[in-house]
Amino acid sequence: MELRRWMIAAGVSLLILLPAGSAVRAHSAFFYVIPTSAPLRECASPGCAVLLTVYQGDKVEILERTAAGWSKVRLVDKPAGIGWIPNDWLSFSPDRKSVTLPTYYVNRDNLPLREHPRPEALVLTTLRFNDAVEMLGVGTSGWAQVRDLKSSVLGWAPPRYLSETSLRSPSSSKRRRAPARKAPPKEDPAPAAPSAM
């Protein structure tokens, strides 16, 4: 009698779990990363922290999607690698390479590429004038996340130091001068007294 109750309870539990498991599988799908390299983020926004970098052709399983165009994915070859990536950077085909991220050029002599979007953050590398970078996006901080095309280092820099085209000479960081103080108006000299004759 006790065995029969246990078998009924186990059978009911199995029936409950099966639809739930198949529903999860129905929403998941395998995709491939399109860009040469892309950040996998902690949340669905370009300003979120980067957990790790994924590379072109990496196979991912989609766990969740947002209406704002982001997918929560799990790296198939690295099950612990879970994060968010824009939908546009994923493809059904491992061979698709059509998405190219915009290229920008450094418009000053030296530009520190930082680990985080803050001026006091660790400098990962220093970019030189006209170095080409791939623009991954601008975060809520107003800083741009870029990938140095020479070294593949991912980091952050202020977007004002990046130009859409290469330049002939670095942009000068002109500082505004404080307006010069105006001298007090000169008083008209008093008319000379007529000399006595």
| CATH code (residue 46) | 2.30.30.40
pLDDT band at 24 (very low <50, low <70, confident <90, very high): very low
Last residue of a domain, one of 35, 58, 91: 91
Q: Taking CA 52 as the corner, what is the angle to CA 122 and CA 162, rounded to the nearest 5 degrees?
A: 55
Identify whether the C-beta of residue 132 lies closer than 8 Å to the C-beta of residue 167: no
Query: What does R_g of the chain's alpha carbons equal in angstroms?
Result: 31
Q: 59-65 and 132-138: which strand pairing?
A: unpaired
Q: What's the whole-number average pLDDT of the chain?
A: 76
Do 37 and 71 lie in one domain? The reply is yes
The predicted-structure confidence for 53-92, as pLDDT tens digits, reads as follows 888 888 999 888 888 888 999 998 887 789 999 888 888 7
Do 73 and 41 lie in one domain? The reply is yes
The predicted pLDDT at position 159 comes to 92
Domain-located, residue 195:
no
The predicted pLDDT at position 167 comes to 83
pLDDT band at 2 (very low <50, low <70, confident <90, very high): low
Do 116 and 149 lie in one domain? The reply is yes
pLDDT band at 15 (very low <50, low <70, confident <90, very high): very low
- The count of domains in the chain is 2
The predicted pLDDT at position 96 comes to 61
Give the structural domain span for 50: 23-91
Do 80 and 120 lie in one domain? The reply is no
pLDDT band at 176 (very low <50, low <70, confident <90, very high): very low
- Cβ neighbours of residue 193 closer than 8 Å, sequence gap 6 or more: none
The predicted pLDDT at position 74 comes to 92
Domain-located, residue 192:
no
More confident residue, 111 or 30: 111
Domain-located, residue 179:
no
The predicted-structure confidence for 124-164, as pLDDT tens digits, reads as follows 999 999 999 988 777 767 888 888 888 878 788 999 999 99
Domain-located, residue 97:
no
The predicted pLDDT at position 143 comes to 86
Q: 123 exposed, middle or buried (CB, 10 Å; 0-12, 13-18, 19+)?
A: exposed
Domain-located, residue 173:
no
